[in-house]
Amino acid sequence: VLFAPPGLLLRLPEWAAPLGAAFGGGGGGIDARGLGNVRAAIDYGKRYGVCAVGAGLSGAVFAERYANVLNETVLVLDRRPHFGGNCYDYDDAITGVRMNKYGAHLFHTESELAWRYVNMHAAAPAWVRWDHKVKGFIDGQLVPIPANIETVNRLFGLHIKDEAEMRTWLEENQVPCPGPGGRCEDAEQMAKSRVGEALFEAIFRHYTRKQWAKEPRELDALVTARIPVRGSFDERYFSDRYQALPSEGYTAWFAALLDHPNIDVALGVDYFEHRAHLDAACGKVIYTGPIDRYFAGAGLEELEYRGIDFVVERHLGAGTVPAQPKPHPWTLNPEPQP
């Protein structure tokens, strides 16, 4: 489950599981990454101190901590055929390019403790600095997102020079929330209170519609409360002290976490199909999956979800493709790769 506002979650539809086969990653069975403790089934003869349901960030970190710090035996299981959760990546079988199966995941934190933790595992890939930058195509031009001084200057033909002038512009354009005590009633009011009417219409209204299939005024104010606005020319998407990516991919990092004699991993296994056994065989069960699925047996309603369609295009297939002889007016089409 990806981050989303209360009552509205974002997840991949059930049909997305086989996409790895089509993309060249994770197809044809489980992706064990060479670990000897990974199976496609549960060993009903074993008992564990802890069972972690879900092999994403939460489940894997719980497992590693229980195994290394408390010397507990741990079972990690996931109904997907791989560990890594939504951070799972793989090398495309055709191009060799590393792919994020469920969309890009960018590590960023202000926490020195978190940074030390992700770097503490000797067998894990090193983390390399990555300052993520995003451009929005608006009114025929690419502008930095989140909005900064350059964004405002280019969209509205202004000449703001520094943070003081940017702060003044924002204060002049922000629309106070009309609720009691200045409370924002919905996402539209919240966004306008942060960036003003013009910037909201230029950037946020249409993106919010596409993201949630709802009008901003239909969404909780928390949806846009997290909109960052830069008062400078800083065009990085995040401003956190630590920003990085694992040099060999997230899945390799997860493999290092789970490679422990106290840890077993069961992939392609649905907890709810084995719940009675696991609740008895595990001293403690830590559930990290979709919360409404866990409480479905109690008669609680399913939360509202948005699905994602991934379209993959392999563009050229070579570093340079010459046009020979017609009909293209260009001679070469180079495709640099990282």
- CA 179/CA 170 separation, integer angstroms: 20
Residue 23 pLDDT > 60: no
- 107 confidence band (pLDDT: 50, 70, 90): very high
Confidence of residue 324 (pLDDT cuts 50, 70, 90): low
The verdict on residue 241 lying in a domain is: no
Could you give the CA distance from residue 112 to residue 92 in angstroms, rounded to a whole number?
Answer: 33
Do 204 and 169 fall into the same domain? yes
Q: What is the CATH number of the domain that holds 112?
A: 3.40.50.720
- Whether residue 255 is predicted with pLDDT greater than 50 in this model: the reply is yes
The total number of structural domains that make up the chain? 2
Residue 106's pLDDT is what? 95
Q: Residues with Cβ < 8 Å from 35, sequence gap 6 or more? A: 255, 258, 259, 265
Look at residue 212 and tell me whether its pLDDT is greater than 70: yes
As given in the structure block, the two tokens for residue 76 are 């990690």
Co-location of 206 and 259 in the same domain: no
The pair of three-digit structure tokens given for residue 112, joined into one six-digit string: 């020195």
Predicted confidence at residue 325, as pLDDT, reads 61
In a domain, 56, yes or no: yes
Q: Helix-strand-coil percent breakdown of the chain, rounded to 5?
A: 35, 20, 45
Tokens of 2: 């990806």
Q: Is residue 28 part of a domain?
A: yes
Tell me if 240 is assigned to some domain.
Answer: no
Indicate whether 159 and 208 sit together in one domain.
yes
Residue 337: the pLDDT is 62
- Domain of residue 192 covers 134-225
pLDDT at 8: 35
The confidence score (pLDDT) of residue 267 equals: 98
Are 149 and 298 part of one and the same domain? no
Arithmetic mean of pLDDT, 326-338: 65
- The whole-angstrom separation of Cα 174 and Cα 166 is 12
Question: pLDDT tens digit string along 259-271?
Answer: 999 999 999 999 9
Q: What is the pLDDT of residue 11?
A: 41
Residues 23 and 171 placed together within one structural domain of the fold: no
The letter for the amino acid at 108 is H
pLDDT tens for each residue of 136-151: 999 999 999 999 999 9
> Could you tell me what percent of the chain has a pLDDT over 90?
70
How far is the CA of 125 from the CAs of 90, 118, 160, 194, 254, in angstroms? Answer: 14, 10, 43, 39, 10
Higher pLDDT, 93 or 322: 93
Residues 105 and 143 in one domain: no
CB atoms within 10 A of CB 49: 16
Q: What is the pLDDT of residue 227?
A: 81
Mean pLDDT of the chain: 87
Question: Is residue 114 in a domain?
Answer: yes
**Averaged pLDDT, 203-219:** 91
Of residues 162 and 331, the one with the higher pLDDT is 162
